Amino acid sequence: MYNNVAGFASTPTKNISFIPSVTIAPKEHYGEIINGKVKIRIYDFSKGKGQSAIEAVARLDAGALPHLQNLLAASYYAGRDLRYPDNKYPESKIFGEPMASGPYQGLCQMTKLEFVWTESKKVWGISISNGYAKKVKTKTGGYMAASGTYKETKKGFFSLPTPKLAECLKNCADYFLLKKIEVGVMEHNLAEWEKKEKEERAAFRQNATAMPQQYQAAPPQNPPGAKNYRLMITSNFRRDQNGYYYCECSMKGHGFLLYFNKFPENPFPMNKEIVLPIMIIDNRCYWASP
């Protein structure tokens, strides 16, 4: 079902999956490359599959992974993480708009996620509860569930030993690191391409200013099938997704696009009538390079 499962464990009656996903961080989030979340899915089919099965889902922010990894290490070696003195990691989220109708009218979706360490068994209990609650605004501008309004609709529980849970969390962290590298390389390549395009356009404009009269006459020889046309170039050169250069032209009051199989070695003057050899192929106008 999912191609990017970073962690998976199962018993004869249930399974748990850790599924990381990323989106590109918006420009407003300075210093961030990606926004990452881990979808934790517990699928309990002890009472049957299909509609009889229970699927509980929670989404963990990528920023919570280091806290969980530290908590795992401290608990396993009988230590204590001062942020979580009970060796528990609780998290609850309320989101979305209130339901417009139905049994949960006026309530918003809510998830509760909890990691609990059991010292006697040396295992972690992972509990996910899905339901609905009334959303109220906090003093800091966020949202929380109003006390006593939560209505649980389904719940899942799964136990994992520390090494297995640590492996799942590490795989998720590695996935986010890989995506950061991929996005960084992509943005670097895009920046290099844009830089090259700007340099080519600047060189073209400079040459066009220096040699405005070069193409006042038609080329001495035209390739077979080409005809000379008197036209006016009205835009700078651009490049389409297939790598072809093109520009906007005007001829006898009609506008059209003129394509080039290669970037012209010498510039054409803009907004001035010139004569160029042109071939028409599949209803496209191409410069017939002599």
End-to-end CA distance of the chain: 56
**Residues 69 and 100: beta-carbon distance below 8 Å:** no
Q: How far is CA 164 from CA 8, 102, 134, in A?
A: 9, 41, 36
Report which DSSP code applies to 226: -
Residue 270, pLDDT score: 84
Amino acid letter, 45? F
Model-level pTM?
0.62
Q: List CB contacts of 87: < 8 A, sequence separation 6 or more.
A: 71, 74, 75, 80, 81, 116, 117, 119
For 160, other C-beta atoms within 10 Å of its C-beta total: 18
In this model, does residue 233 exceed pLDDT 60? yes
Q: List CB contacts of 216: < 8 A, sequence separation 6 or more.
A: 274, 275
**Per-residue pLDDT tens for 131-150?**
999 999 998 888 999 999 99
Mean per-residue pLDDT for 65-79?
Answer: 77
* Domains of the chain from N-terminus onward: 7-184 (2.30.31), 214-287 (2.40.50)
Interatomic CA distance for residues 62 and 281, integer angstroms: 53
